[in-house]
Amino acid sequence: MKMNRMLTAMVLSLSLAAPALAVADTLNLKADLLSSTEVPPKTSDGHGELTATYDTSSKVLQWKVTYADLTGPASMAHFHGPAPVGKNAGVVIPIPMDKLPSPIEGQATLTAAQESDLLAGNWYFNVHTAKNPGGEIRGQVEQVK
């Protein structure tokens, strides 16, 4: 009888904990980096792609950015926000100089406010060059559904 009560209590405890375990999720994100989506638009053959994952439990954003055909070597790259498409914003996550050559890979732990802006589609990524110091290619970071 005691064993049945213990097992029942354990099963009940696990079933109550299961919804909390299911809340954590890994989200896929992407951005197509183009000169035409810079603000203002640039003339360049440069193009690229950002792929990323965001773990809602650990708050870790991991990314990989590939790019090609810029007017020169990348001089800077950043995540910016909060800003919708067509608007500029400040730097949220700078990419270190030694990580600028394609492919750029990295990760960062986000704050609650950063997470909210990112998941609302209010972050963009861009790559700068000497010829285009304000940014040569840019893409809005969006969740892949």
pLDDT in tens, 95-104: 999 999 999 9
Average pLDDT, the chain: 89
Give the pLDDT band (50/70/90) at residue 76.
very high
What average pLDDT does this structure show over 100-122?
98
pTM of the model: 0.83
How many angstroms separate the first and last alpha carbons of the chain? 49
Domains, the chain: 24-143 (2.60.40)
Amino acid letter for position 62: Q
What average pLDDT does this structure show over 44-72?
98
Q: What is the DSSP-derived secondary structure letter of residue 23?
A: H
